[in-house]
Chains A and B, each alone.
Chain A
Amino acid sequence: MAYNLQKLIIGNFAHFVEKGTVVGENTVGSDFYPEESADLSAWNDMGCVLQAVPEPTINTTTDKCPSPAGGYIDEDTNNVTKDVLKISLKCYSEPIWRLYWGLSAKIVDGTPQTPFLSKDRFVEGWLNFEQRGDDGQKRTVAVIYGRIRVDENPTWSADPSRPAIRFENIYSSISSIEPLNIAAA
Chain B
Amino acid sequence: MSTEPKPKKSTEPKPEDAAQIIMRCKVIKNGLRAGGGVSAAGKILNLPQNIAELHESRGEVKIIGTK
B-contacting residues of A (Cβ < 8 Å)?
Answer: 23-26, 28, 30-35, 42, 143, 172-174, 176
Contacts and interface: CB of A to CB of B under 8 A. Distances in A.
Contacts of B40: 30-32, 172-174
Contacts of B43: 31-32
Contact of A173 (B37, B41, B45, B48): B41
Contact of B45 (A32, A172, A174): A32
B61 interface: no
15 contacts: A23-B36, A24-B37, A25-B22, A31-B39, A32-B38, A32-B39, A33-B37, A34-B36, A35-B38, A173-B31, A173-B40, A174-B30, A174-B38, A174-B39, A174-B40
Contacts of A143: 38
A33 B22 CA distance: 19
A35 B33 contact: yes
A4 to B, nearest CB: 27
A31 B47 CA distance: 15
A92 B3 CA distance: 70
Interface string B19-55: 0001000000011010111111111011110000000
Interface residues of B, number: 18
B17 to A, nearest CB: 18
Interface of B: 22, 30-31, 33, 35-43, 45-48, 67
A89 to B, nearest CB: 25
A25 B35 contact: yes
Listed residue (B36, B41, B46, B67) with the most chain A CB atoms within 10 angstroms of its CB: B36
Given A26-B45, A174-B30, A174-B31, A32 B37 contact: yes
Nearest to B33: A35
A25 B38 contact: no
Nearest to B46: A25
Top 3 A-B residue pairs of the complex, sorted by shortest distance between their CB atoms: A25-B46, A31-B40, A31-B43
Contacts of B45: 26, 32
A174 B30 CA distance: 7
Nearest to A35: B37
Contacts of B38: 32-35, 143, 174
